[in-house]
Amino acid sequence: MEREDKKYSSERKYRNKDITVYWKPSACVHASYCYRELIEVFDPGRRPWVDMSGSTTSRIIEVVNMCPTEALSWKWNDDEKNKNIEIDQLNHVKFRRPELMNINESDQEENTVSVKILANGPIIIRGNFTFSYQGIKKEIYGGLISICRCGASDHMPFCDGRHRKIDFID
């Protein structure tokens, strides 16, 4: 996918005394878990949009771990602690953990593709599926895409977060 090509583009960092949160804009699919859960820290309308003083370290970790892509990740500032990190805290670095993402979900049937319509937001599709756009068909294995539903994205057919700016109500 186009997004994959941009995977290694610039990453931004936000620190508090305990941890550093990493933000890769190109990996974001605007699933919006972060700001729905913790607007005090993750506020897309603010610059910079991450304010590490807005909540506690443990709560920030919890919400960063909800990020369904590699867009948000975190590390302890004390590198020694990164070595001893509990497996259930591991969202950071290159490990994606689909099994943890699905932890609260009932749809565990192996091959059933998950399609979620977010309120006033995009369609999030996850699993093994084929994706066709403008006559080109791609096979997506264990992937996640976010499809624009408001009609205003500059990155069609993918969501780029514009539904928020145009106040899309569905």
Residues that bind other proteins (CB under 8 A): 107, 109, 111-120, 123, 125, 127-134, 139, 141, 145, 147-152, 157, 168, 170
The residue (of 8 and 133) whose beta carbon lies closer to other proteins is 133
The residue (of 24 and 30) whose beta carbon lies closer to other proteins is 30
- Report, in Å, the least distance between residue 165 CB and other proteins: 13
The dihedral region occupied by 118, where left means phi > 0, alpha psi between -120 and 50, and beta the remainder, is beta
The residue (of 90 and 131) whose beta carbon lies closer to other proteins is 131
Distance CA 41, CA 128 (A): 33
The residue written with tokens 């990453």 in the block is 11
What is the CA 48 to chain-centroid distance, rounded? 18
